[in-house]
Structure formats: C-alpha cells, structure tokens
Structure 1
C-alpha cells in the first residue's frame, strides 16, 4: 500500500473533499475546498482522482512518497519541486518511492490543492472526509496536518485520459453579490457606498471568514448591528458590531447575530478566497436570477 509522509505543513493544511452539504440544519457547515474550481481542476489533470485531496495555504507543503503514486497540483500560483527539480504550476507527476515533493509560496493565491490517483484512507465522518475546522471533525482526527503525519492511500483508481495541466484564466473586476437579507437595515447612503467604495482583504482570514479593511469607514455610522441569530451561508457579508465587514467562508459558524448586507455569489466565491491580504475589493450587485446563471 502506498502512503505519503508529511514533512512540512502550514497551520491550515487540511484534507478536503466535496464536503457535507445539507447538514446546516444540524449545526454543521459543509466545509470542502475554499477554491472548489481549482480542487476539481487538479482531479481533471489526473483523469481519475480520489475524492479527497490536500488543501494547503501560502505556507506550502512538503512530503515524501512511500510507494508510487500519481499526483496533480493546482490552485493559486505556487512553486513546485520534485527531488530538487523545479516543475511547472499547475502540474502532474508520477512519484516513485522516496520521491521528495516541496511546494513553496508563489506570487498569487491563498490556497493550493494536491490530488492523488487513489483515495486517502481516512474514515468518513457524516458522509465526508472533509476537515471542519469549527466542528473538529473529518480529515485526520479532525485537525490540520502536521509534520510526521502519514496518510495511507488506497488502490489505484481506473484512469481515464487526463488533460494536460494549463494555468487557469483568472477573472478580474468586482466581486458580484446579491442583496442580503438585512440590507434594508442600512441607510440608502451606506448601501450605495457599499458598492462604490473600495475595501481590502485584511490579514485576518481563515476557513471561517475573511475580514475586510474599510478605509472609507463605510459602516462607521451604521446602527443596530446586533440581531437574533439565524442561519448563515458561505459568502454572507456580515457587518460586525464595530462596523467591520466579514465575508463568511466554507467553515462558517451555523448561525450569526450580525446583519448581512449582501452575499457573494457562488460563481465568485472561489476567486474571492484566493485574494491575498492587501488586495483591493469592490462589490457589484446582481440579481438572484443573474447569479443563478453564472459559472465559476
């Protein structure tokens, strides 16, 4: 049986698969990859991939192959080397026993993905192997990966014809949003400035949420910023009691007690997750009907 042994991992490197949709009513957010499109692309490069892969952050990842295995990487823009030889990004490769893989920070993106031509042999929890940082379930003992971890891999999957890895075209422009359930609690002036003023991604980001810097103090005069808690979803933009906007992400809490002025459309949530701290962000309103027709 093949395996990989982790030699270096950042604090947010986790096992992820498609997640646990439909369990929010039980207090469990879906989790899954922060950039689902990049996660899926890595599987396409292989032709057939196990449902579970590794999500790593700008800290990168290092591991040693214990047995032969095919891998593919995608997401953001990182630097990859195998046995000391630089490789392109994104990429796929056949590793032999003892191969040393090193992934280092690159010029763009917060999250990268490593997929295998076989399943990572960890238990299913509530139908998924995805690590939930807030619930502490799934993945490897419900926690982030760390140096010394050994991930056993199952049998090689029947392979289709994989595609040659090519860099994705990164869209630009505003992040599209639909009107939030509490938008009417904000004045017309605040709602207008929300879509005309620029925000910035702050260094305070993780799988639960991304805080935004608000240099124009758009929400400084907002009132009644505490509500009875109700259900929230990925992409909801909450305005905290001190006026700080926070965009909820894949491991969001099940309920929230702050007003949501808007929700990032699903088609733009992957792109938003890859914006590094300091990146300027503008929001553009679209209708629900328009959002439903968009593709990532």
Structure 2
C-alpha cells in the first residue's frame, strides 16, 4: 500500500497495549473500538492491526498484489478507482487500485482494515501507534504521504457487519472519586447542563466548552497526581472540563468529577467540534449492563 495522501493523525492501531500504564505508557488502540472491530468483520481480518484515519481521510494505491479490505466508523465517502462504494462496506482490491476516503456528514474517526496482517513489528505486544511514547505502528509516528505498508497473508473472507446507526441522547457517566470535592449544587447543575465539543481535541483528550459556566469559580485547583483512565472528566484549575481519551497521560493532578462509561466512549469520540453534550449519571451496575448490551 502506497500512501498518496494521509490525513493528520492517520495511524496504525490494534486492540491496544495493556499493562504498561505503571511505566507511563497508555494503552492506545482505536478511538472507536466497536467500529474498528466491525471493519475487521467487513474485511475478514485474520489479525489485529488496521488504519485509523481522521476527518481528512486518505488516498492510497495497491502497489503490489491483492487483498480484501473493509471500512467502518463515522461517516465518510469512499471510492475505489473513482467509483463510489457504500460506507460502511468492503471490497476486494487488485494491484493498481486506488482507494480514496473523504469526509462525510459526521464522525471524527474511520477505520480501514485488511484481510491479511499489516507487516509492522509489535512493540510491547501491540502494533498500536502511540505518538506520545513513539511506540508501535510505523516508527512510532503518524503515517504520511509516501509511506508504504505491506499486507501479508490472506483473510478469512469478507462478510457484512451489523450496520450501527448514529446514536443520540445524553452521554452517560459514573461519578468519579473526586465528585465529593465539588459542592452539591454544582454536581446537580453538572447533571444535565449543556457543554459543547471544542476544536481542541486529539487522541489524548477533548476540551469542552462549559456553556452554563458550571465550573466557573471552582476552587479546587490541583491534587496529588493519581492514575487516570480513558473517559475521565477532568476539571482544570481554570474550570475547563477535559475528557481524557485513548492516549491519555498516565497520571493527572486535577479532580475528576466522573468517567464516561465504556458503552458511550466510542460515541463520544465521534462527536465533531460544535456538537452539544449533556451528561447523565448511571450506576456502575447499569454501566456494566449497557456494556454487555453494546458488545461487540
């Protein structure tokens, strides 16, 4: 695969790199895990590893050989040799085929997976790219124009994945370990107050606009640093809320009022700048039920 164009933050990701947070290395992995898995179903993927691309999309050419490919996540416009194909979907790519992906109506992240295995080495048991730690993927960096990737082996045959409609509604969370540090009336206002996704977002975190000024004048500035997780809603010293994502830092010294549940984190990751967000609390038991219901 020869990349004629790679949009910002196009990376190789697999399920993730787990067990190294104590060494300061987050798990990484796909921002939308379920879309990544569905793309693998479309492609008949036999191994981990695929391409995660952002709104700008990508262009590539099959420089040699042939392979099955599948795509899913967000909403994008995909063409092979200038012929538009369904999104999500799959195709058998022949030598010389050109695949182009452009932004569609919604979503930040899309996934392109292949029947065979992307031929890059694992780092600490994973192909996932962590640009912060310079690990995994291709030289630990985002892909760029001129890069060449080899896909080895064959897949197990393309097949359709369940088409999942764009979800709506409140983003559910569980109260965090620092929730009691905030006044009771503030917690009441946080539940149901309007926030908005800003343009300051990446694989590390998403900054929110506090439209109702829920945290204006909050007096909790910093704490002793503690381990953090994807989905943690961290309140900075100036009252700005930030949701930590897959490439989060290992520890944080600001209070975390809550954590977005795993069943909703994929959906949150796909919210484009300007999207309104309302948070709603659930219990841990309810969060587990929702996660089981959302699988795969």
Q: TM-score, normalised by structure 2?
A: 0.96
CA contact (8 A) 1:46 1:163 kept: yes
* CA deviation after TM superposition for structure 1 residue 171, in Å: 2.0
Q: 2:173 aligns with which of 166, 171, 177?
A: 177
Secondary structure at 1:282's aligned position in 2? Answer: strand
Select 1:245's aligned residue among 234, 241, 246.
Answer: 241
Partners of 1:115 and 1:190 lie apart in 2 by 44
CA–CA separation in structure 2 for the residues paired with 1:133 and 1:13: 11
Equivalent residue for 1:32? Answer: 29
User: 1:289 Cα deviation (Å)?
Assistant: 1.2
Within 1, Cα distance between the matches of 2:138 and 2:174? 36
d(CA) in 2 for partners of 1:292 and 1:136?
A: 33
Moved over 4 A (4+): none
Q: Given the alignment, which residue of 55, 58, 62 partners 1:58? A: 55
TM-score of the two chains, using structure 1 as the length reference? 0.96
User: What pairs up with 1:137-286 in 2 under 5 angstroms?
Assistant: 137-157=135-155, 159-160=156-157, 162-165=158-161, 167-286=163-282
CA 87–165 in structure 1, closer or farther in 2 if over 3 Å, else same: farther
Pairs aligned (count): 291
Query: 1:42·1:72 contact (CA, 8 Å) conserved in 2?
Result: yes
Per the alignment, in what secondary structure is the counterpart of residue 105 of structure 2? Answer: strand
Deviation of the 1:46 alpha carbon? 2.4
CA contact (8 A) 1:92 1:165 kept: no
Say if 2:38 and 2:162, in contact at 8 Å, map to a contact too. no
- Please list the CA deviations of residues 35-89 of structure 1 after superposition, one character each: whole Å capped at 9, or x if unmatched: 0000000111123343100000001011000221110010001000100111110
Unmatched runs of 5 consecutive residues or more in structure 1: none
Q: Which moved more, 1:120-129 or 1:162-171?
A: 162-171
Query: What residue ranges of structure 2 are gaps of 5+ in the alignment?
Result: none
Q: Could you give the per-residue CA deviations for residues 108-136 of structure 1, whole angstroms, max 9, x where no partner exists?
A: 10000000000001111000000012211
Partner of 1:107: 105
Task: Name 1:10's counterpart in structure 2.
Answer: 7
Alpha-carbon deviation of 1:90?
0.6
Is the deviation greater in 17-26 or in 144-153?
17-26
Does the 8 Å CA contact 2:171/2:268 hold for their aligned counterparts? yes
- Output the CA distance in 2 between the equivalents of 1:252 and 1:190: 26
Aligned-pair distance for 1:166?
5.5
Tell whether the 8 Å contact from 1:90 to 1:166 is kept in structure 2 after alignment.
Answer: no
Distance in 2 (CA, whole Å) between partners of 1:123 and 1:193 is 48
RMSD: 1.1
Structure 2 CA distance for aligned equivalents of residues 202 and 86 of structure 1: 31
The separation in 2 between residues aligned to 1:50 and 1:83, in whole angstroms, is 26
Could you tell me whether the CA contact under 8 Å between 1:179 and 1:262 is conserved in 2?
yes
Distance in 2 (CA, whole Å) between partners of 1:76 and 1:65 is 24
Contact 2:26-2:246 at 8 Å conserved across structures: yes
